[in-house]
Amino acid sequence: MNSDIFNKSVLPLKDKLYRLALSIVRNRTEAEDIVQDVFLKIWSKQDEWELIDNMEAYCYRSIKNLSFDRLESMAARSAEKYNAEMENMMFVDTKNPHSAFVEKEQIDIIYRCIEKLSENQKMVFQLREIEGMSYKDIAKSLNMSEELVKISLYRARKKIKELLEELNK
């Protein structure tokens, strides 16, 4: 019974949760570890599942919290190693070195912009831009009102536009 709930409600979210973690920690291995840790944590708290109103929101919140915690511990490591791991995160093998370099530059730029967003704005931005979720679904997933989702997304995009324009001057 419990494993059914886990298989039907939690496991299908794995790639979405992974992308959310990846967008925060920017490291594939760390992001995968985070998803696994969150799943293990949820699995080991089976007796609390009935108390969780919105499992999806609970998963997103857990991923967000653990990702930011992990980001702090990663920052504590040597900057050299950290940057080396970051370099490998987004490249697609089929691209040539030049386009891969350009892509990396662009990704670095956008990450610098995203880092300036508040946690709420980051979450809403990720779910809309990466997961392509509707405002209604985002509101449900993050346990917030649809109006707040729209306002957060508007502010996030506005800030990113300003930062992109400033960086490209």
Partner 1 sequence: MKPTEEINALLVKYWKGETSLEEEDSLTKYFTGRDVADELKPYTALFQYRENLRCATLSDDFDRKLKKAIQQKKRENDYITIRIFVPALRIAASVAVALSLSFGVYMMIGKNDKTYFAETYSDPNAAMEHATFALDKLSEALQKGEEASIESIQELNKVDLDWKMLDSITESDINYQKSTDSLPLENNL
Q: What is the CA radius of gyration of the chain?
A: 17
In order of 78, 81, 102, the CA distances from 73 in angstroms are 10, 13, 29
Smaller CB distance to partner 1: residue 140 or 157?
A: 157
CB 164, min distance to partner 1, A: 5
In order of 21, 62, 93, 114, 129, the CA distances from 100 in angstroms are 22, 32, 9, 21, 22
Asked if residue 84 binds partner 1 (CB under 8 A), the reply is: no
Q: Could you say which residues in the range 112-151 bind partner 1, by CB under 8 A?
A: 113, 129-130, 132, 134, 150
How far apart are alpha carbons 122 and 125 in whole angstroms?
5
Smaller CB distance to partner 1: residue 53 or 105?
A: 105
Q: At what angle do helices 55-76 and 14-25 cross, to 10 degrees?
A: 30
Which of 48, 73, 77, 167 is in the footprint of partner 1 by CB under 8 A?
167
Smaller CB distance to partner 1: residue 26 or 56?
A: 26
Q: Could you say which residues in the range 43-72 bind partner 1, by CB under 8 A?
A: 43-44
Smaller CB distance to partner 1: residue 22 or 139?
A: 22
